[in-house]
Amino acid sequence: MKRKKKIILVCHCILNSNSKVEGLSQYEGVFKEFLNIIADKGIGIIQLPCPEMIMYGIKRWGQVKEQYDNLFYRQQCRRLLEPIIQQVKNYIDFGYEIVGIVGIDGSPSCGVNFTCSGNYGGEIIDSSQVAEILESLKLVNGSGVFIEELKKYLKEVDLEIPFYSINENDVYSSLDDIIQKIWAT
Ligand code: SF4
């Protein structure tokens, strides 16, 4: 039996950059450099669903955490996570190891260590408002909404899994760091 019984959970766009807000991707489809290392290490992959793509589609605007931070979005995130948690629990119960969960820092949904915040929203009456709105954009400490819900859910079912993250603005800068941490597992 060749299987290594090790699995990693990755945010959807690591395996499919097409789900990202249009204009935002540093790789063509799959983040190959990351994936190749995981594959070489014999770790299996579970791809998390992309909550933004599922709920708001490919023509959505880039949004900030405040726009997703509502009960409906949180409940839908949880529903999407339910089958994932069920599988993870079953794997762990039968001796498999979930080596980590990889999020996307900077994302309002999938950020782990930092996410984006700003005074977004409302009708834009004239173009001068756009600059003002964009100026309010900042990165803040904390997780995105989807990852917050995932963390809560894991706690409820008594599972502790380490979180790692890829920096959305420069995916290659975070590669060495994340690989070293996962390699150490
Ligand atoms: S960071 Fe999360 S919400 Fe954004 S595209 Fe990737 S999987 Fe979807």
- Each residue's pLDDT tens digit, 70-129: 999 999 999 999 999 999 999 999 999 999 999 999 999 999 999 999 998 887 777 778
Do the bridges between strand 138-141 and strand 163-167 make them parallel or antiparallel, or are there none, so unpaired? Answer: unpaired
Would residue 124 count as lying in a domain?
Answer: yes
Cα end-to-end span (Å), the chain? 21
Tell me the average pLDDT across 38-66. 96
When divided into structural domains, the chain yields a total of 1
- Among residues of the chain, what percentage have pLDDT more than 70? 99
Would residue 175 count as lying in a domain?
Answer: yes
* pLDDT at 92 (0 to 100): 98
Would residue 74 count as lying in a domain?
Answer: yes
Would residue 1 count as lying in a domain?
Answer: no
Would residue 47 count as lying in a domain?
Answer: yes
Query: Probe ligand 1: pick from 52, 84, 171, max atoms within 8 Å of CB?
Result: 52
Nearest ligand 1 atom to the CA of 20 is: 5
Residue 107 beta carbon below 6 angstroms from any ligand 1 atom: yes
Nearest ligand 1 atom to the CA of 21 is: 5
Would residue 164 count as lying in a domain?
Answer: yes
Domain that holds residue 80: 6-183
- CA dist 78 and 40 (Å) reads 32
* pLDDT at 185 (0 to 100): 62
* pLDDT class of 31 with cuts at 50, 70, 90: very high
